[in-house]
Amino acid sequence: MDQSRSRPHPHHRPRGRHLSGRLHRTGPPCRRTGGGVDAVGTVAPFYLKPGSVEELVAFYKPIAAACAPLPFYAYHIPSMTGINLPMIDFLKNGSKEIPNLNGIKFTSNNFMEMIECIRFDGGRFDILNGFDEMLLCGMAVGARGGVGSTYNYSLRTSPA
């Protein structure tokens, strides 16, 4: 990835590492890793929930800024967070406020909304399917990939 740009090459895909940490006191986790981080993503706050897209953008903005120039992904998981704001509006507003916004991990079964996000601004953003069991549906409507928890499991196919 060209580090002088805030967005990776169009064919670059992050390598599925998970990193967590706090932005206060010790600094952002991406600054403490010593490298090896391809992108940063975070889930919306689910205790003190944002009530509008503007509040959601305001929550993500300092996290993305602290980790720039790394690509930033918002995690849209309404079944877990209880936040079901229109993500197309998040992309419209967020793209103006968050220069390194690269896409969304889209964990919702609202495929019409996913398609809107995929098509927004000429397909500029990586929209990644989040529900493991709906990966094929997500890929069929244009998701560029998937972030799942069960993709690493494999059944034994030969005798021991």
Spell out the alpha helix ranges (H) of the chain. 29-32, 53-67, 78-81, 87-97, 111-119, 135-140
Is 49 annotated as catalytic? no
- CA-CA distance, 130 to 109, in Å (whole number)? 9
Is 61 annotated as catalytic? no
- CA-CA distance, 12 to 158, in Å (whole number)? 34
Catalytic residue among 47, 60, 73, 75: 75
- CA-CA distance, 90 to 47, in Å (whole number)? 20
Catalytic residue among 61, 92, 105, 153: 105
The residues assigned a catalytic role are: 75, 105
